């Protein structure tokens, strides 16, 4: 009987996490614990027994996304070509934004009363700042670009979640291509960015010409 209870408890926990991840991705961190319990098909008491606070639930729900965010930044800084590394960081970060509105909210502290990733944000910010300076020293990145501008790009990417799910990745790559084209120094060779959008010519939906 004890074994069966442990299995049931584990299944309830997995359902709660799956429901939370789904709702956070769809609607951001504004969803309530009651909505999560309803999506998971568990009672509020079961939810709070597993996750006493919403912060506990958010931290565990976004564990994978936080690891992916760190991987994006450190993969970029490890690239011997800092411009290519920065381009890949921008594109992959926008793709992550497009797929999960809730993580973007959490990481950018849109809801500091619920969760605060400040220490992670500062650590990754320092790494991105170093990458920015390296790309500028290599003569590829405009000299007036700073970390705050990188943050603005991430905030602009938050709007990607409003696009249909089937087009978000293409839209994220297209937005990255436009952003990076604006960051390249004026005398750099056009079309030399490293993201897949520019390499393959892929793009999101184009507006129809007016008749």
Domain count, the chain: 2
Instruction: Tell me, yes or no, whether 69 lies in a domain.
Output: yes
Residues 167 and 143 placed together within one structural domain of the fold: yes
Q: Cα–Cα distance between 136 and 151 in angstroms, integer?
A: 17
Residues 95 and 148 placed together within one structural domain of the fold: yes
pLDDT digits (tens, 9 = 90+) for 72-128: 999 999 999 999 999 999 999 999 988 887 888 788 765 666 677 888 889 999 999
Instruction: Tell me, yes or no, whether 207 lies in a domain.
Output: no
* Per-residue CA distances from 87 to 12, 84, 195 (Å): 41, 5, 6
Residue 88, judged by CB atoms within 10 A of its CB (0-12, 13-18, 19+), counts as buried
Residues 153 and 70 placed together within one structural domain of the fold: yes
95: domain range? Answer: 63-200
Please tell me the predicted confidence (pLDDT) of residue 187. Answer: 66
Domain boundary among 61, 82, 106: 61
Q: What CATH number is attached to the domain comprising 31?
A: 1.10.10.60
Q: DSSP assignment of the chain, as one string?
A: -HHHHHHHHHHHHHHHHHHHHHHHHHHGGG--HHHHHHHHT--HHHHHHH-SSHHHHHHHHTHHHHHHHHHHHHHHHHSSSHHHHHHHHHHHHHHHHHH-HHHHHHHTTS-TTT---HHHHHHHHHHHHHHHHHHHHTT-B-TT--HHHHHHHHHHHGGGGGS-GGGHHHHHHHHHHHHHHHHB-TTSPTT---SHHHHH----PPPPPP-
Q: Cα–Cα distance between 175 and 29 in angstroms, integer?
A: 24
Residue 109, judged by CB atoms within 10 A of its CB (0-12, 13-18, 19+), counts as middle
Does residue 5 surpass a pLDDT of 80?
A: no
Residues 9 and 89 placed together within one structural domain of the fold: no
Residues 68 and 56 placed together within one structural domain of the fold: no
Residues 129 and 162 placed together within one structural domain of the fold: yes
Instruction: Tell me, yes or no, whether 208 lies in a domain.
Output: no
Instruction: Tell me, yes or no, whether 209 lies in a domain.
Output: no
Residues 143 and 52 placed together within one structural domain of the fold: no
Q: pLDDT band at 170, cuts 50/70/90? A: very high
**Angle, nearest 10°, between helix axes 33-40 and 54-61?**
60
Quick one: what percent of the chain has pLDDT higher than 90?
A: 54
Residues 80 and 50 placed together within one structural domain of the fold: no
Domain boundary among 12, 30, 61: 61
pLDDT digits (tens, 9 = 90+) for 127-154: 999 999 999 999 999 999 999 999 999 9
Cα torsion angle, 140, 141, 144, 147, sign: negative
Instruction: Tell me, yes or no, whether 75 lies in a domain.
Output: yes
Please tell me the predicted confidence (pLDDT) of residue 100. Answer: 82
Residues 100 and 152 placed together within one structural domain of the fold: yes
Residues 169 and 181 placed together within one structural domain of the fold: yes
Instruction: Tell me, yes or no, whether 41 lies in a domain.
Output: yes
Q: pLDDT band at 1, cuts 50/70/90? A: very low
Residues 49 and 141 placed together within one structural domain of the fold: no
Q: What CATH number is attached to the domain comprising 145?
A: 1.10.357.10
Residues 171 and 192 placed together within one structural domain of the fold: yes
Instruction: Tell me, yes or no, whether 6 lies in a domain.
Output: yes
């Amino acid at each position: 009987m004890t074994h069966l209870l442990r299995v049931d408890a584990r299944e309830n926990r997995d359902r709660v996490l799956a429901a939370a991840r789904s709702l956070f991705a769809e609607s951001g961190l504004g969803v309530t614990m009651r909505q999560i319990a309803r999506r998971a098909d568990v009672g509020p008491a079961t939810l709070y027994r597993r996750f006493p606070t919403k912060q506990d639930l958010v931290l565990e729900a976004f564990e994978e996304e936080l690891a992916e965010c760190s991987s994006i930044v450190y993969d970029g800084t490890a690239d011997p070509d800092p411009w290519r590394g920065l381009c890949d960081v921008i594109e992959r970060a926008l793709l992550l934004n497009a797929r999960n509105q809730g993580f973007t909210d959490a990481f950018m502290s849109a809801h500091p009363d619920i969760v605060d990733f400040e220490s992670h944000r500062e650590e990754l910010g320092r790494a991105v700042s170093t990458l920015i300076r390296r790309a500028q020293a290599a003569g590829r990145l405009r000299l007036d670009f700073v970390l705050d501008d990188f943050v603005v790009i991430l905030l602009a990417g938050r709007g990607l979640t409003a696009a249909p799910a089937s087009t978000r990745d293409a839209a994220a790559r297209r937005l990255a291509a436009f952003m990076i084209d604006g960051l390249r120094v004026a005398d750099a060779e056009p079309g030399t960015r490293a993201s897949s959008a520019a390499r393959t010519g892929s793009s999101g939906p184009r507006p129809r010409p007016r008749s």
